Chains A and B, each alone.
Chain A
């Protein structure tokens, strides 16, 4: 399985960050969960949230009011939407697969998103 993030590398403050993760070489059905993690020098690795094809999702409470993770099984991709961004949301964003919610075994290469006017 391979994952690849895509989306704008620059977002304006107060805007919405939208990223997509394309999944190739495997199905998004089954027991796997699909996850977003971000990394910044200030906060290190930060788990954003996860979603399952059943419609269940879990989010980091620190971001819950601003984040949505959605799956498009027909396109074999999932997405991240983060609203009302500030400079603190500047980070490298990774998508990852989480088999049975135990570990993150496959990661995308990551994409840098900068929040700046």
Chain B
């Protein structure tokens, strides 16, 4: 199985801050890396696929980058509705695997 490791596990930030979350895979993903946002009691919401392609309707303050084994999710200016847990997922091979999550909390 491909292991996905996110850092940090949690962070505290203020509205307007720039936030960066990192995801590292145990082997190259050839770009098959997705990002999801999850709020308490809800299902994950799909944000980004192919490491950097925004799903339709996702605000442009979200961006993704990276290749090979190292990927980044950036929120350029944190908004109140962005406080949530973020997960990366690889779809390069079976079984699909997720990172352990990064919880973004209000400072």
Contact = CB atoms under 8 A, between A and B. Distances in A.
Contacts of A98: 91
A104 interface: yes
B55 interface: yes
Interface residues of A, number: 22
B66 interface: no
B94 to A, nearest CB: 5
A13 B101 CA distance: 29
A44 B9 CA distance: 12
B44 A104 contact: yes
Nearest to A99: B49
Contact of A101 (B42, B50, B91): B91
A11 to B, nearest CB: 21
Interface in B50-107: 50, 55, 87, 89, 91, 94-98, 100-101
A47 B93 CA distance: 12
Interface in A87-117: 94, 96, 98, 101-110
Interface in B28-42: 32, 34, 36, 42
Interface stretch (A23-31, A54-62, A77-85): A54-62
Residue among B95, B97, B101 with the highest chain A CB neighbour number at 10 A = B95
A96 B1 CA distance: 21
A102 B87 contact: no
Contacts of B45: 107
A45 interface: yes
Interface of B: 1, 32, 34, 36, 42-46, 49-50, 55, 87, 89, 91, 94-98, 100-101
Q: Which 5 pairs, one residue from A and one from B, show the smallest C-beta to C-beta distance?
A: A107-B43, A45-B98, A47-B96, A103-B49, A60-B95
Given A103-B49, A104-B46, A107-B44, 19 more contacts: A45-B101, A46-B98, A47-B96, A61-B95, A62-B95, A94-B44, A102-B32, A102-B34, A102-B49, A102-B91, A103-B34, A104-B34, A104-B89, A105-B46, A105-B55, A107-B43, A107-B46, A108-B43, A110-B43
